[in-house]
Structure 1
Amino acid sequence: MPEVDIRPATPDRFPHAQRALSGGGDGRSCQCQWWTITNVEFQRSSVEERRELLRAELEGELAPALIAYVDGEAAGWVRVGPRTRQIRLSRTKQLASTTEEPWDDGSVWAVSCFVVRTEHRGEGLAGRLLAAAIDFAGSHGARVLEGYPVDPSEGRKKASNELYRGVVSTFARAGFREVGRPRPDRALYALDLSR
């Protein structure tokens, strides 16, 4: 049984973040900046500029994500943090019309991006990352944790790149409740951490 350890993405772990993000999917080019900058900024930025934005985030006071290690090697990533720091979420009409929470509430956190390296898919790592994200959010004062997963059973077959938001079954197993579905294959889930 492999040993799994999940740690905050801190400055000294930047190389580990790069390994986790480069194991399949869009992580290498996105650098987990999709939700943190506007569409115009994202389209105008280079991969190197997005990498430097991520490096600056890791140097901040609050880690923007968690890194999963399998037997000591970086294998996965989950972005978790205050929703107010992920500005594109509030600009996404499907989400803005579905949430029950005010967008300027700093106690509402979001789990918005998962990356699991190809060689570690199918091992339950996304579920473990989500569990760690719940603990991390709760220990840093989050009142509510939102997620925006995909339902792969709805519509056409989804490519693995399209599952970066997570899947509904992972959120349901973790105790989140479905708030609404802006589209049949897209959902907004929430977990009350104030209890």
Structure 2
Amino acid sequence: MRSPQRERLAPDQVEVVPATGRFDDVARIVGPSVPGGSACWCLSHRLRSAELKGPDGEDRREEVMRGLCAGPVPPGFLAYVDGELAGWVGAAPRSSMSYVASSSKLVRAHDDEAWVVICLRILPAFRRRGLTRLLLEGVVDAARRAGADAVEAYPVDPEGGRVDQSMAYVGLVGWFEDAGFARVLRTEATSARLPRWLVRREL
């Protein structure tokens, strides 16, 4: 039995804002589910491993994300529905993401100033209501205002299959195509054993 259709969100119900100064809300979505637990903090596809460890090898992801949320370049954007925290998109200029910029698998097709989307997370109560597209539009608007040439991402193509929600954080190609992105090339990178595509929206 299929779940009932959820009501689509209207744009005026949703506010998409930079994560600057909003570390606590970022932590609610990408931080550990229990105090003291482990979490990727939306950093594993953003920065190289050495940048996430302290001098003694200790994990400093929380500290790094806290710093990014206090810095001049936000690490992403948060969505609020009628004032309630609903979703997150990790996105920033490629030049600020050392992992993406140096990866041999997350290749680029253009040598220009692009922003990159690396993570999408929607809280359960707000899924399948059109929020992903509104988050992506928020990134596009911010990138355009910053003078970027394009927004890119590396989502997976499930090729007719299903992707577990916990593994869909890199996004699905269809989500990006619905938001005006076009496939550029299939990369050698994979996620959940599925191929990742470079997709791009010109600005």
Shorter-chain TM band: 0.7 to 0.9
Corresponding residue SS for 1:93: coil
Displacement of 1:149 in angstroms is 0.8
Q: What is residue 3 of structure 2 aligned with on the other side?
A: none
Q: What is residue 87 of structure 1 aligned with on the other side?
A: 98
- 1:153–1:185 contact (8 Å) kept in structure 2: no
- Name which of 56, 59, 70 aligns with 2:70: 59
Q: What is residue 175 of structure 1 aligned with on the other side?
A: 180
Residues 38/163 of structure 1: CA separation in 2 closer, same or farther (3 Å cut) = same
% identical equivalent positions: 33
- Write the letter of the residue equivalent to 1:111: V
Displacement of 1:118 in angstroms is 2.1
Number of residues paired by the alignment? 181
CA RMSD after TM alignment: 2.3
Q: Tell me the distance in 2 between the aligned counterparts of 1:174 and 1:5.
A: 17
Q: What is residue 137 of structure 1 aligned with on the other side?
A: 143
Larger Rg, first or second structure (1 or 2): 2
Corresponding residue SS for 1:62: coil
- Write the letter of the residue equivalent to 1:162: M
The one-character-per-residue Cα deviations of 1:30-71 (angstroms, maximum 9, x if unpaired) are 11111222135558553xx21111110011112221100122
Q: What is residue 128 of structure 2 aligned with on the other side?
A: 122
Q: What is residue 116 of structure 2 aligned with on the other side?
A: 110
- Write the letter of the residue equivalent to 1:92: S
Q: Tell me the distance in 1 between the aligned counterparts of 2:40 and 2:198.
A: 22
Q: What is residue 101 of structure 1 aligned with on the other side?
A: 110
Q: Given the two structures, how large is their TM-score scaled by the length of structure 1?
A: 0.82
Q: Tell me the distance in 1 between the aligned counterparts of 2:146 and 2:140.
A: 10
Q: What is residue 73 of structure 1 aligned with on the other side?
A: 84
Q: Which runs of 5+ in 2 are unaligned?
A: 1-6, 189-193
Residues 176/70 of structure 1: CA separation in 2 closer, same or farther (3 Å cut) = same
- 1:126–1:166 contact (8 Å) kept in structure 2: no
Q: Which runs of 5+ in 1 are unaligned?
A: none
- Write the letter of the residue equivalent to 2:26: A
- 1:68–1:76 contact (8 Å) kept in structure 2: yes
Runs of 4+ in structure 1 over 6 Å off: none
- Write the letter of the residue equivalent to 1:133: V
1:34 aligns with 2:40: no
- 2:47–2:100 contact (8 Å) kept in structure 1: no
1:192 aligns with 2:202: yes
* Structure with greater proportional helix content: 1
Corresponding residue SS for 2:39: helix
- 2:46–2:118 contact (8 Å) kept in structure 1: no
Displacement of 1:178 in angstroms is 0.7
- Write the letter of the residue equivalent to 1:82: P
